[in-house]
């Protein structure tokens, strides 16, 4: 990626982050319910009107809206995302502690998904119109129509409750606790990716170089693995980047089902307890991570495929 | 009549799925007639009964008849997801056509907002919006609408840009057609088939997202009969009474499959490339 493009992208990221931060700040302001009252209610006391006012003053909640926003934003730029009142800890610290478990879960589910999707997609493409293709396509269709929270519940019921092979609650560490959540996440993604691999493969198989290689008598196996596969995985990389980004933000449902201590379940907790600084910090973090991953994907794309580099 | 027979013969799969979708809608419409019990009547002495001749899908922890609740759930789910798709389709298409046709500042503003939404995992924002606005079905629909309209805006805009500089549009303008006339009679019909196909294939996805929000507790609230919420309520009783999570999940699954199939076959019918 050329330097000018890179700078343009970075500028875009800054603008989007700015917009997202303003949007979430507005939203938390419009939200019904009084955060100060909720804060005291969480600690189990019913404060008098004066104490409420004093706290508001101390937290800067009596300032005009824009002043509050600028104050908060300045804090964020200095790495201070405020303090979560429901956990009584700095927001940045909480988010950082939950980032690693979610990242681990996301990577494991992506790996599981690839192990299933790539062979199935290739099988489907190379046997186009055959029974295998038909079966795989029906399976992917069912896969995209299944709600992932239901898949999660069924897996939990079968493997944890009935067969007692795996733990019901995924709290704490340990690989076995990540299996069910990861399989659940991989399930729906695998359906989407199998279709993608199939399309990409079919497209490559129609290229002239494949016909050329066949004419030269090169074995079909060699053509597939040495030539077609590397060419068709390239578009997958962009998708993988996007998936990793949305997994980091969107695993809430699965994390809740398996009581997995990640970013998603933290966000759900934050929203149910009206912990505004935590919600704002979470949304901003996810936006940043998501966009940085996309940028890295685009850069790596240019490195892997020189044609894109030349085009700028 | 002959025309209809010809259409059915030409598009058999579309007709089959249309009938299935109508059947699902009929279940929702006639739920009061089909239900064997009042879905909201709690009989605590009759709680968590397994499926029987009296209660076909069993009863939940409040002793409510699960079969009737699943039927009524079709109402909640279909109303919410169909109105959601309509909202994002209309709002997104209008904004996209306006952005594409007028260009300039309007285009820049609409497209930058849509960029912002696309460079961000939608579900995160939807959860945040639904949670902050307050948990109910309307807010869940609003939250998902806020993050989903951009797809239609982009689509409509690109379709408008494609024909904006064509001769017949210039001719219409030169002969003094009003802008509203051009937008309504030329731009909209041109964009409509693609938009409708996208909308139809989106119904299933939207249904899943709404059910997901309800499952997390940010959508329908108790005692509403909603499939996502019912799954969440049944979750705690999984070990002893698995039927509480089997039937609502199955209902979501079947409905989503039917609407996804309908969307796919509608694409085959409307796609001009298939002519």
- The SS3 assignment for B65 reads strand
Per-residue pLDDT of chain B (275 residues; tens, 9 = 90+): 677 788 888 888 888 999 999 999 999 999 888 888 888 888 888 887 888 888 888 888 888 888 999 999 999 999 999 999 999 999 999 999 999 999 889 998 888 888 777 767 777 778 888 877 888 899 999 989 988 999 999 999 998 988 888 888 888 888 988 888 888 888 888 888 889 988 988 999 999 999 999 998 888 888 888 999 999 988 888 888 888 889 999 999 999 999 999 988 888 887 655 54
Is B29 among the domain residues? no
pLDDT of A136: 92
The verdict on a CB contact (< 8 Å) between A286 and B253 is no
Burial state string for B115-125 with b = 16 or more CB within 10 A and e = fewer than 16? bbbebbbbbbb
To the nearest whole angstrom, how far is the Cα of B114 from the nearest Cα of chain A?
10
pLDDT of A63: 75
**Cβ-nearest to A153 among B112, B124, B245:** B245
CA B15 to CA B20: how far, in whole Å?
9
Is B67 among the domain residues? no
Rounded average pLDDT over A172-179: 74
- The SS3 assignment for B57 reads coil
Evaluate if residue A171 carries a pLDDT over 70.
no
Q: Work out how many domains chain B is built from and give that number.
A: 1
Judging contacts by C-beta atoms under 8 Å, the chain B residues touching residue A139 are none
Interfacial A residues in 59-118 facing B (CB < 8 Å):
none
CA B66 to CA B39: how far, in whole Å?
7
In A, minimum Cα distance to B248 occurs at A150
Q: What are phi and psi of A89, to 5 degrees?
A: -140, 160
Interfacial B residues in 94-123 facing A (CB < 8 Å):
112-113, 115-116, 119-123
pLDDT of A312: 39
Residue A238, judged by CB atoms within 10 A of its CB (0-12, 13-18, 19+), counts as: middle
Task: Judge contact between A232 and A201, C-beta under 8 A.
Answer: yes
Task: Judge contact between A280 and A92, C-beta under 8 A.
Answer: no
Phi-psi region of A164 (alpha: psi -120 to 50; beta: other; left: phi over 0): left
Is B142 among the domain residues? yes
Give the residue carrying structure tokens 């409040």.
B62
- The SS3 assignment for B274 reads helix
pLDDT of A310: 47
Evaluate if residue A139 carries a pLDDT over 70.
yes
pLDDT of B182: 87
CA B156 to CA B93: how far, in whole Å?
5
Domains, in order of start, for chain A: 1-86+273-312 (no CATH), 96-272 (1.10.3720.10)
Residue B136 sits in a domain of what CATH number?
1.10.3720.10
Indicate the pairing of strand A89-90 with strand A83-84: antiparallel
In A, minimum Cα distance to B205 occurs at A145
CA A133 to CA A122: how far, in whole Å?
9
- The SS3 assignment for B107 reads helix
Report how far apart, in Å, the C-alpha atoms of A165 and of each of A114, A158, A160, A179, A214 are: 24, 9, 6, 11, 48
The verdict on a CB contact (< 8 Å) between B239 and A245 is no
Evaluate if residue A206 carries a pLDDT over 90.
no
Quote the DSSP letter at residue B175. Answer: T
Is B81 among the domain residues? yes
Give the residue carrying structure tokens 């069993």.
B58
What's the CA angle centered on B249, arms B247 and B255, to 5 degrees? 100
pLDDT bin (cut points 50, 70, 90) of residue A170 is low
Rounded average pLDDT over A257-281: 86
The percentage of residues in chain A with a pLDDT greater than 70, rounded to a whole number, is: 92
Identify the residue with better confidence: A56 or B51: B51
Report how far apart, in Å, the C-alpha atoms of B181 and of each of A17, A59, B176, B184 are: 39, 54, 10, 5
Structure confidence by residue, pLDDT tens digits, A180-197: 899 999 988 899 899 888
Judging contacts by C-beta atoms under 8 Å, the chain B residues touching residue A13 are 119
Judging contacts by C-beta atoms under 8 Å, the chain A residues touching residue B261 are 141
Task: Judge contact between A181 and A166, C-beta under 8 A.
Answer: no
Q: What are phi and psi of B242, to 5 degrees?
A: -65, -20
Is B112 among the domain residues? yes
Task: Judge contact between B115 and A287, C-beta under 8 A.
Answer: no
**Cβ-nearest to B120 among A148, A272, A290:** A290
**Structural domain range at position B245:** 76-274
pLDDT of A114: 92
Is B171 among the domain residues? yes
The encoded tokens of residue B5 equal 């027979």
The verdict on a CB contact (< 8 Å) between B239 and A268 is no
In B, minimum Cα distance to A294 occurs at B119
Is B172 among the domain residues? yes
Interfacial A residues in 228-247 facing B (CB < 8 Å):
245-246
The verdict on a CB contact (< 8 Å) between A250 and B134 is no
pLDDT of A294: 81
- In this predicted complex, what is the ipTM? 0.83
Residue B131, H or E segment? helix B122-133
**Cβ-nearest to B132 among A31, A147, A257:** A31
Q: What are phi and psi of B65, to 5 degrees?
A: -70, 120
In B, minimum Cα distance to A149 occurs at B212
In A, minimum Cα distance to B249 occurs at A150
Interfacial A residues in 117-146 facing B (CB < 8 Å):
141-142, 144-146
Judging contacts by C-beta atoms under 8 Å, the chain B residues touching residue A142 are 257
Judging contacts by C-beta atoms under 8 Å, the chain B residues touching residue A283 are 124-125, 128
The verdict on a CB contact (< 8 Å) between B120 and A287 is yes
pLDDT of A74: 87
pLDDT of A33: 67
**Cβ-nearest to B231 among A24, A149, A246:** A149
Phi-psi region of A142 (alpha: psi -120 to 50; beta: other; left: phi over 0): alpha
CA A91 to CA A123: how far, in whole Å?
47
Structure confidence by residue, pLDDT tens digits, B121-143: 777 778 888 877 888 899 999 98
Maximal C-alpha separation, chain A: 88
Evaluate if residue A172 carries a pLDDT over 60.
no
In A, minimum Cα distance to B139 occurs at A31
Evaluate if residue A19 carries a pLDDT over 70.
yes
- The SS3 assignment for B28 reads helix
DSSP code string of B210-243:
HHHHHHHTSSS-TTS--HHHHHHHHHTTTTT-TH
Q: What is the 3-state secondary structure (H, E, C) of chain A?
A: CCHHHHHHHHHHHHHHHHHHHHHHHHHHHHCCCCHHHHHHHHHCCCCCHHHHHHHHHHHCCCCCHHHHHHHHHHHHHCCCCCEECCCCEEHHHHHHHHHHHHHHHHHHHHHHHHHHHHHHHHHHHHCCCCHHHHHHHHHHHHHHHCCHHHHHHHHHHHHHHHCCCCCCCCCCCCCHHHHHHHHHHHHHHHHHHHHHHHHHHHHHHCCHHHHHHHHCCCCHHHHHHHHHHHHHHHHHHHHHHHHHHHHHHHCHHHHHHCCCCCHHHHHHHHHHCCCHHHHHHHHHHHHHHHHHHHHHHHHHHHHHCHHHHHHC
**Cβ-nearest to A246 among B121, B228, B239:** B121
In B, minimum Cα distance to A242 occurs at B121
Size of interface A-B (CB pairs under 8 A): 125
Whether the CB of B185 is below 8 Å from some CB of chain A: the reply is no
The verdict on a CB contact (< 8 Å) between A149 and B215 is yes
Is B83 among the domain residues? yes
CA A120 to CA B159: how far, in whole Å?
35
The verdict on a CB contact (< 8 Å) between A287 and B128 is no
In A, minimum Cα distance to B244 occurs at A153
CA neighbours closer than 13 Å in the CB half-sphere of residue A80: 8
Judging contacts by C-beta atoms under 8 Å, the chain A residues touching residue B239 are 161
């Amino acid at each position: 990626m050329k330097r000018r493009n890179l700078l343009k992208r970075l500028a875009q990221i800054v603008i989007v982050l700015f917009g997202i931060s303003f949007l979430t700040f507005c939203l938390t302001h419009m939200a019904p319910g009084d955060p100060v009252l909720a804060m005291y209610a969480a600690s189990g006391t019913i404060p008098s009107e004066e104490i409420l006012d004093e706290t508001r003053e101390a937290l800067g909640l009596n300032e005009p809206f824009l002043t509050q926003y600028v104050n908060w934003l300045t804090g964020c730029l200095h790495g201070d995302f405020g303090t979560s009142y429901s956990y009584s800890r700095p927001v940045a610290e909480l988010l950082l502690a939950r980032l690693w478990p979610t990242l681990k879960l996301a990577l494991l589910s992506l790996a599981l998904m690839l192990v299933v999707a790539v062979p199935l997609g290739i099988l489907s493409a190379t046997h186009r119109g055959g029974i295998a293709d038909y079966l795989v396509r029906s399976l992917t269709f069912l896969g995209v129509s299944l709600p992932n929270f239901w898949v999660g519940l069924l897996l939990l019921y079968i493997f944890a409750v009935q067969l007692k092979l795996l733990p019901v609650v995924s709290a704490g560490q340990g690989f076995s606790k990540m299996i069910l959540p990861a399989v659940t996440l991989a399930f729906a993604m695998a359906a989407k990716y199998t279709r993608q691999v199939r399309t990409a493969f079919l497209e490559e198989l129609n290229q002239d170089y494949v016909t050329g290689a066949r004419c030269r008598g090169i074995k079909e196996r060699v053509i597939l693995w040495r030539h077609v596969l590397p060419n068709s995985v390239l578009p997958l990389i962009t998708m993988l980047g996007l998936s990793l980004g949305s997994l980091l933000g969107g695993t809430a449902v699965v994390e809740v089902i398996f009581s997995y201590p990640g970013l998603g379940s933290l966000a759900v907790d934050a929203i149910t307890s009206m912990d505004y600084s935590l919600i704002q910090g979470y949304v901003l973090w996810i936006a940043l991570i998501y966009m940085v991953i996309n940028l890295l994907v685009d850069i790596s794309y240019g490195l892997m495929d020189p044609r894109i580099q030349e085009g700028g | 009549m002959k025309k209809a027979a010809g259409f059915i013969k030409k598009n058999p799969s579309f007709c089959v799925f249309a009938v299935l979708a109508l059947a699902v809608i009929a279940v929702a419409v006639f739920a009061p007639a089909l239900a064997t019990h009042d879905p909201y009547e709690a009989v605590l002495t009759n709680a968590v009964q397994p499926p029987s001749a009296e209660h076909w899908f069993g009863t939940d922890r409040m002793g409510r008849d699960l079969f009737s609740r699943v039927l009524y759930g079709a109402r909640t789910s279909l109303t919410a997801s169909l109105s959601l798709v309509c909202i994002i389709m209309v709002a997104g298409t209008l904004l996209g056509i306006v952005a594409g046709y007028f260009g300039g500042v309007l285009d820049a503003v609409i497209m930058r907002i849509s960029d912002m939404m696309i460079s961000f995992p939608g579900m995160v924002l939807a959860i945040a919006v639904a949670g902050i606005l307050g948990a109910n079905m309307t807010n869940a629909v609003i939250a998902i609408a806020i993050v989903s309209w951009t797809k239609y805006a982009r689509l409509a805009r690109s379709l408008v840009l494609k024909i904006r500089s064509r001769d017949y549009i210039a001719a219409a303008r030169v002969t003094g057609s009003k802008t509203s006339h051009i937008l309504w009679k030329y731009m909209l019909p041109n964009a409509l088939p693609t938009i409708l196909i996208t909308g139809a294939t989106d119904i299933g996805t939207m249904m899943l997202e709404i059910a997901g929000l309800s499952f997390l507790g940010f959508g329908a609230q108790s005692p509403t009969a909603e499939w996502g919420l019912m799954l969440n309520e049944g979750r705690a009783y999984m070990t002893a009474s698995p039927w509480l999570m089997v039937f609502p999940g199955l209902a979501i699954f079947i409905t989503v499959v039917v609407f996804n199939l309908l969307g796919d076959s509608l694409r085959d019918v409307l796609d001009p490339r298939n002519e």
